[in-house]
A and B are shown apart, each in its own frame.
Chain A
């Protein structure tokens, strides 16, 4: 019993030491600096675009002006939320694609595994350190856009807006962690870091750019919209399309981010005329918006955990030899 307690204690200390080193490595690395600089640049661009187009957006609806900083895009520049949806995966991949295979090629993995820690602590520490680095990036960007936006437009956010921004940032962290978990899987599976990076990037591009094409193609194949029969298929076609799209974390995140940042979004998915009739125009409260995206958040957290579990099982089964 006491030997068990001692083992757990020494494992905890080891885990902490490894986490600290990994986190410090991330913050110290050129790669972190580059990706951070890229995100900062993109955020600045989106902020400028949003501010220049804010008057148009406000003329449509003058509620929740502060949130519009995150969602308004100009004709040539995407909004901050879109940038996170598209470039967030790159952050996750960058921080995770060589987590394990690099240790292996450096010859440090067997030395590390021979220290008094459980083998899973190695991968736990790496995931946690990556997640912390992601949190640092996302929170800094959030503070930057809020601070600069406040100076530029001079309208302070309401309490509800603050909550919504915090929820959005948390959602972004979880979203990027999904990609971190994916990158760690491939860093365990493939021997070379370059292979892992390429696989991750192709998955990223596929899910972000081509998944919608594949989804609509498949939906049209299964439920054709031509002719008379097409009329009966409209509903099934749409639902199939949505279902397939929701496999992609990119789509999930986009849907959830839109709902959280835009209180006027009242439903995601199909709204029939009957459910729409008699509805009073108005925005959703923060709690209701959260309720709407709760499944998205859960699915994304589940994806991150599932990815992490796959990486973990793979790693535990692998031979630790040079």
Chain B
């Protein structure tokens, strides 16, 4: 961290006929960083990653990786950038090892080097026992693991992963997260992850960028983003107390800064206020004979940040599961409605 900038985009824009998929994106990612590009489906994440790889030409603006222009010098970029697409595919008639060998050859590795690296990587992703089976028989999780080995065949400085956590079981997820962390910390590679699954991304990213309808609406460390929201005077408190009755709500409304109260399905009372009211609430509850069961100030959590930024950007859908796709977004990308 704190290294020099390795990925830099300036005013990167992609327009399709009438739709702007990515709007004037300015992004800087430092060497050795794990950066999370977050947003709902169709926000322009994949388009951005494709432009970084030189697979799609930007309408305006430039992108550069390690000093190489992504459009004009795409070969130089593709030599140092590994790309793991979402739903990665392999040649089903070749074994895992043969698939890796082929990628090595495409990258101009010597045969001996190819074998050695393939063996090493298969070990690293825990695929040695399945290495000589045809990839047509692989499960989704196995393909994902082989995909990571495949990306590492070229020994990339930068790794771009598109929805790497999609469709993986919790155990596989833990392994994947550990592996990604290792790639960043131990190998010192820069990693760009695009995802709509917040929880996983929160665990591994140094910084995140929130992407809605082609625009980067927030960018920074997760704590910073949380603070930013707090400074705008939005506090959400989850309270559970006994006895839980109507009077409790009435009582809380007496605090002047409280502007909304909501009874959640989980039995928690969500209190939105203009400042930190925890002290007053505790004192008030004790005085009136309530027993406080739990109280939590929301804000530091990525889910929260994400949702808040969406609200700010005029989105009104529930992102709690990270799965919800706003109808507005779906209309913007009609050809992607069949995805996932």
Min CB distance, B289 to chain A, in Å?
60
Distance in angstroms between the alpha carbons of A319 and B339 in the assembled complex: 15
Interface check B92, CB cutoff 8 A: yes
Other-chain residue from B50, B78, B92, B93 in contact with A321 (beta carbon distance below 8 A): B50
Interface residues contributed by chain B, number (CB under 8 Å) = 34
- A7: chain B residues at CB < 8 Å are 73, 75-76
Closest 7 CB pairs of A and B: A107-B89, A17-B105, A7-B75, A114-B83, A13-B108, A115-B106, A116-B78
CB within 8 Å of A: which B63-85 residues: 68, 73-76, 78-79, 81-83, 85
- A322: chain B residues at CB < 8 Å are 85-87, 89, 339
Q: What is the chain B residue whose CB lies nearest that of A104?
A: B89
Q: What is the chain B residue whose CB lies nearest that of A119?
A: B55
Interface check A3, CB cutoff 8 A: yes
- B199: chain A residues at CB < 8 Å are none
Q: Which of B53, B55, B79 has the most CB of A within 10 A?
A: B55
CB within 8 Å of B: which A23-48 residues: 25, 28
Interface check A74, CB cutoff 8 A: no
Contact B75 A113 (CB under 8 A): no
Distance in angstroms between the alpha carbons of A113 and B102 in the assembled complex: 13
Distance in angstroms between the alpha carbons of A185 and B296 in the assembled complex: 61
Min CB distance, A290 to chain B, in Å?
40
Interface check A117, CB cutoff 8 A: yes
Contact A321 B46 (CB under 8 A): yes
Min CB distance, A25 to chain B, in Å?
8
Contact B102 A21 (CB under 8 A): yes
Interface check B150, CB cutoff 8 A: yes
Q: What is the chain B residue whose CB lies nearest that of A110?
A: B85
Contact B55 A115 (CB under 8 A): no
Contact B107 A320 (CB under 8 A): no
Min CB distance, B45 to chain A, in Å?
11
- B147: chain A residues at CB < 8 Å are 111
| Interface membership of chain A positions 89-129, coded 1 if the CB is closer than 8 angstroms to chain B and 0 otherwise | 00000000000000000111011111111110000000000
Contact A14 B108 (CB under 8 A): yes
Other-chain residue from A108, A114, A320 in contact with B78 (beta carbon distance below 8 A): A114
Contact A10 B108 (CB under 8 A): yes
Pairs across A and B, CB under 8 Å, 18 listed: A7-B75, A10-B79, A10-B108, A11-B75, A17-B105, A28-B93, A106-B89, A106-B92, A107-B88, A114-B55, A114-B85, A115-B78, A115-B103, A116-B75, A116-B108, A117-B75, A117-B78, A117-B106
Contact A3 B55 (CB under 8 A): no
- A107: chain B residues at CB < 8 Å are 85, 87-90
Interface check A18, CB cutoff 8 A: yes
Distance in angstroms between the alpha carbons of A142 and B100 in the assembled complex: 38
Contact B78 A106 (CB under 8 A): no
Interface check A6, CB cutoff 8 A: yes
Q: What is the chain B residue whose CB lies nearest that of A29?
A: B93
Q: What is the chain A residue whose CB lies nearest that of B77?
A: A116
Contact B79 A116 (CB under 8 A): yes
Min CB distance, A99 to chain B, in Å?
13
CB within 8 Å of A: which B82-125 residues: 82-83, 85-93, 102-103, 105-108
Contact A14 B107 (CB under 8 A): yes
Contact B90 A17 (CB under 8 A): no
CB within 8 Å of B: which A276-322 residues: 319-322
- A110: chain B residues at CB < 8 Å are 55, 83, 85
- B78: chain A residues at CB < 8 Å are 114-117
Min CB distance, B103 to chain A, in Å?
7
- B107: chain A residues at CB < 8 Å are 10, 14, 115-116
Contact B50 A320 (CB under 8 A): yes
Min CB distance, B241 to chain A, in Å?
50
Interface check B297, CB cutoff 8 A: no
- B87: chain A residues at CB < 8 Å are 107, 322
- A321: chain B residues at CB < 8 Å are 46, 50
Other-chain residue from B73, B74, B83, B89 in contact with A108 (beta carbon distance below 8 A): B89
Other-chain residue from B68, B74, B89, B339 in contact with A111 (beta carbon distance below 8 A): B89
Other-chain residue from A9, A10, A17 in contact with B102 (beta carbon distance below 8 A): A17
Distance in angstroms between the alpha carbons of A201 and B55 in the assembled complex: 32
- B4: chain A residues at CB < 8 Å are none
Q: Given the known A-B contacts A13-B108, A14-B107, are A118 and B85 also in contact in the complex, defined by CB atoms under 8 Å?
A: no
Min CB distance, B130 to chain A, in Å?
18
CB within 8 Å of A: which B283-340 residues: 339
- A108: chain B residues at CB < 8 Å are 89-91
- B105: chain A residues at CB < 8 Å are 13-14, 17, 20-21
Min CB distance, A153 to chain B, in Å?
43
Distance in angstroms between the alpha carbons of A118 and B180 in the assembled complex: 29
Min CB distance, B82 to chain A, in Å?
8
- A106: chain B residues at CB < 8 Å are 89-92
A10-B108, A20-B105, A321-B46 are known; give 5 further A-B pairs, CB within 8 A. Answer: A7-B73, A7-B75, A17-B102, A17-B106, A106-B89
